[in-house]
Amino acid sequence: MKKVNGYEIKAYANLRRADLRCADLRDADLRCANLRDADLSDADLRDADLIGANLRCADLSDADLRDADLIGANLRCADLRRADLRDAKLPHFKICPEEGGFYAWKKTSRGVIKIYIPADAKRCNSLIGRKCRASKIKVISGAGCGGTSPNKGNEKYTKGSTIHADKFDDDIRIECTNGIHFFMTKQEAEEW
């Protein structure tokens, strides 16, 4: 165990809301640690053991996570912008099919719609949540037809139309970025 900025760095530690900006946490044993809402921006977490750690809503922007073990870590809503994840062991996060066309669900300003992601569409999902995005979609049906994106845009999602994203960002570290956002289940879209 070691101390950083007055915090005991050890497995199972409660480091919720800890200020660990720019901290040297190389090789740290933070298994199952509670790091929810912690500020780890610019921290050096190379080779850190973060298995099962709660990193929900943590700021990991610009953090060095090379070779870190994040298996089982909760990264929901974590900020991973510009984080270096080379050779990191990541939690199982792929929920969006990598090949072929498939059906999914999107929330619009009027409700939920069923959509089809064509086989040639670029697609990915976020490392930190269950929201997916694609470069284009086809609107199939649903009460939300005729609505627009809840957050931005004037594009109407009308039945039978094919919608193309202005830009598409395949960076898995960012949940809300360029692309047409959707969910794999209707329930997730309804709860959004």
CA distance readout (Å), 99 to 13, 93, 118, 143: 41, 16, 9, 28
In this prediction the pTM is 0.69
- Which of 41, 69, 92 is the last residue before a domain boundary? 92
Please, are residues 125 and 175 in contact by the beta-carbon 8 Å criterion? Answer: no
Residue 97 lies in a domain: no
Q: What are phi and psi of 159, to 5 degrees?
A: -55, 130
Structure tokens at 125: 């999902």
Whether the CA torsion 12, 13, 14, 19 is positive or negative: it is: negative
Residue-range definition of the domain harbouring residue 10 = 1-92
> Domain containing 51 — which CATH number?
2.160.20.80
Do 83 and 159 fall into the same domain?
no
Please name the helix (run of DSSP H) or strand (run of DSSP E) that holds residue 190, with its range, or none.
helix 186-191
Cα–Cα nearest to 135, from 146, 124, 147 = 124
Distance of CA 169 to the CA centre of its chain: 13
- Does residue 157 lie in a domain region? yes
Residue 54 to residues 19, 119, 148, 154, Cα–Cα distance (Å): 15, 35, 35, 37
| CA atoms in the 13 A half-sphere facing the CB of 163 | 29
Rg (CA), the chain: 19
List, for residues 25-81, the tens digit of each pLDDT value.
999 999 999 999 999 999 999 999 999 999 999 999 999 999 999 998 998 889 999
For residues 70 and 139, state if they share a domain: no
Domain count, the chain: 2
Tell me the pLDDT tens digit for each residue of 119-166: 999 999 988 778 999 999 999 999 998 888 877 667 899 999 999 999
Q: Are both 113 and 85 inside the same structural domain?
A: no
Residue 78 placed within a domain: yes
